[in-house]
Structure 1
Amino acid sequence: MNKLRRRTVLAMAWLLAAAAPAVHAEPTAAGSPPWRQLFNGEDLDGWLVKLSHHELGDNYRDTFRVEGGLIKVRYDRYDEGDFGGRFGHLFYDEPFENYRLAVEYRFVGEPLFRSAPDYARLNSGVMLHAQSPRKILKDQDWPISVELQFLAGLGDGEPRATGNVCTPGTHVWYEGQRDKRHILPSTGPTFAPSDWVRCEALVVGNHFTHFVNGEKALEYERPEIGGGVVAHYAPEEFVAGRPITSGYLALQAEGAEIDFRKVEIQVLPGD
């Protein structure tokens, strides 16, 4: 068994050993790394805000805020028609390479801020292996990254699975070949907007696995820079074909109001 495969199998074993009811705090399985809480429940200490068309750290009209022990994305202090392409990302100010990340979220309020694009309706996510927030230009829309996408049902009876992968400025390999689709669908369920959902990403070497409430929903590998969707980036940041082997985590704000009650990580060994 080669080294990467051995690491993947070991990490999968840890994940299965630690499996527990989806939206509650999980005990650490014997021999597995401890959970580290990235959100302290009180403030945004350790996090950096980057909104498109704003400088790093400019949290326009408190788009990201902490209230009642939750990280909240809100647009109630915006003026009507004020969205203006202010796609936002809340970065944890530390890069990671091999890890198991868990985010618990629910959508709240109106499904879409009035002047946000319609595709952002009940749509959010967490960016994985993202570029450094300090290297994102003022007008750049999304970080070069892969996104674990969060969706909720639109109330029309149609399935709308959560746990997809989106690829702003990237490609991934899926089922043995480079896949240039911007969205690769997961097998995750459809949730009501008010449901609390736990999504996890297991990242070992260049292999990514998404889980929704403890059930595997998608696997892919070998993220690399490429494709479109992202715009207004520094040219030196976009080197087509360059493998992405580590990066930052970022919670998304692209027009839907959402709560995050837990962001936790197990840092996995490199070998």
Structure 2
Amino acid sequence: TMRIIGHPLGENFGNTFRVWDGILSVRYDAYGDDFDNRFGAIYFNEKLANYRLKVEYRFVGETAPGAPEWGFRDSGVQFHSQSPASLNPDQPFPVSLEYNLHGGNGTDERPVGAVCANGMFVEFNGQKNSAYCTPPSAQKTFHGDQWVTLEIDVKENLITHYVNGEEILSYANPTFNPEHEIAKTLMVNGEAQVRDGYISLQSNGHPIDFRKIALLKY
């Protein structure tokens, strides 16, 4: 299911998401000269709890005109997400966890694989995160348009990020933030623990390709 801000659920505005030769591409050639915060994502249709997800990705080309500065070589895999149908029309991102994808700019360190917790908390060594995004403990930057392999392993309450087969971050016990305007509406009977959710691939304003998407359920 595709969801792009300002468009009905399921509408693939401007052919943003397109498949060719086994590759799922995200492109902005139909967006004109202003990206206009039209963030989007393509969602897997099934709610998932315990699994290992493996995806190869590469950043290509130039950031869409009018995209935010942080959108340069930025994307992500969102998981433990609310359903696409439950997002407010003007809500840019779902309540979810995100494996953040950063591509290098040729010089600076831009490590891949931070966890960004939108409307949620996670725990590192028993301590809740204080920042929206927490950087990976092993920092790897990938420049250019090389293919990179990300993996997310979700086992009960333990979540681990990998890049090119190497573990880079681990954390536990995702919970909804009861102070968050949208997250609090997703809690059932006051239960904050997050045990499952939807997976999606982001469209944040920079062209990206995905391939060899593999899901192993536990």
TM tier, smaller: over 0.9
The reply on whether 1:137 has 2:88 as its aligned counterpart is yes
Give the direction of change, closer, same or farther, for the CA distance of 1:98–1:168 in structure 2 (3 Å limit): same
CA contact (8 A) 1:131 1:144 kept: yes
Aligned mate of 2:119, from 152, 169, 175? 169
Q: 1:166 to 1:193 in 2, by over 3 A?
A: farther
Query: Residues 180 and 227 of structure 1 are in contact (CA less than 8 Å); yes or no, is this contact kept in structure 2?
Result: no
Alpha-carbon shift at residue 263 of structure 1 (Å): 1.2
> Aligned-pair distance for 1:115?
0.5
Gaps of 5+ in 2: none
Superposition deviation, residue 139 in structure 1 = 1.2
- Please say which structure displays the higher CA radius of gyration: 1
More strand by share: 2
Alignment of 1:64-83 (within 5 A): 64-81=17-34, 83=35
Residue 201 of structure 2 aligns with which residue? 251
List structure 1 runs of 4+ shifted beyond 2 angstroms: 233-241
Alignment TM-score, normalising by the size of structure 1: 0.75
Match of 1:218 in 2: 169
Determine what percentage of the aligned residue pairs are the same residue.
39
Aligned positions, number: 216
Matches within 5 A, 1:1-271: 48-81=1-34, 83-110=35-62, 112-155=63-106, 157-186=107-136, 187-226=138-177, 233=182, 236-237=185-186, 242-268=192-218
The question of whether the paired residues in 2 share the 8 Å contact of 1:64 and 1:72 is answered with: yes
Indicate if the aligned counterparts of 1:103 and 1:260 stay in contact, CA closer than 8 A.
yes
Shift in CA distance, 220/161, structure 1 to aligned 2, threshold 3 Å: same
Measure how far apart 1:236 and its partner are: 2.3
Q: Is the 8 A contact 2:98 2:117 kept in 1?
A: yes
User: What amino acid is the match of 2:6?
Assistant: H
Aligned Cα RMSD in Å? 1.9
Whole-angstrom distance in 2 between the partners of 1:179 and 1:102: 25
The one-letter code matched in structure 2 to 1:166 is C
Per-residue CA deviations over 1:208-266 (Å, capped at 9, x if unaligned) read: 000000000000111112289x88x5872368871111011000001110000121111
For structure 1, which runs of at least 5 residues remain unmatched after alignment? 1-47
Deviation for aligned residue 1:68: 2.5
